[in-house]
Amino acid sequence: MRAVGIVATGSYLPKEEVGNEELAAAAGVTPEWILARTRISSRRFAAAGESTADLAVRAAERALDRIDPAELGHVIVSTSTADTPQPPVSVTVQHAVGATGAACFDVNAVCSGFVYGLAVARDLVAESGRPVLVVAADVYSRILDFSDRRTAVLFGDGAGAAVVGPVPGPAHGPAQGSAQGSAQGSAPGSAPSGFLGFELASDGSRQGLIRVEDGFFRMEGRQVKEFVLERVPPALAALAARHGHSLSDVDVFIPHQANGVLVTELAERAGLGGALMPRTVDRYGNVGSASVAVTLDEANRAGMVRHGDLVLLAGFGGGMAIGAGLLRWAAQEEER
What single DSSP character describes residue 142? G
Cα–Cα distance for residue pair 289/223, rounded to 1 Å: 20
Cα–Cα distance for residue pair 106/322, rounded to 1 Å: 18
Helix (H, G, I), strand (E, B) or coil at 209: helix
Note if 256 is an active site residue.
yes
Cα–Cα distance for residue pair 134/113, rounded to 1 Å: 10
CA distance from start to end of the chain: 24
Cα–Cα distance for residue pair 206/210, rounded to 1 Å: 8
Cα–Cα distance for residue pair 54/123, rounded to 1 Å: 27
| Phi, then psi, of 156 in degrees rounded to 5 | -140, -175
Between strands 310-317 and 321-328, the pairing is antiparallel
Cα–Cα distance for residue pair 16/46, rounded to 1 Å: 7
Tell me how far the alpha carbon of residue 122 is from its chain's centroid: 15
Comparing CA positions, the residue from 142, 171, 172, 167 lying closest to residue 155 is 142
Cα–Cα distance for residue pair 313/198, rounded to 1 Å: 9
Which of 74, 245, 259, 286 is catalytic? The answer is 286
Note if 111 is an active site residue.
yes
Which of 74, 243, 245, 256 is catalytic? The answer is 256
The DSSP secondary structure of 55-100, one letter per residue, reads HHHHHHHHHTTTS-GGG-SEEEEE-SS-SSSSS-HHHHHHHHHT-T
Note if 104 is an active site residue.
no
Which of 20, 74, 104, 111 is catalytic? The answer is 111
Cα–Cα distance for residue pair 306/222, rounded to 1 Å: 36
Residue 261 CB coordination number (10 Å): 15
| Residues with catalytic function | 111, 256, 286
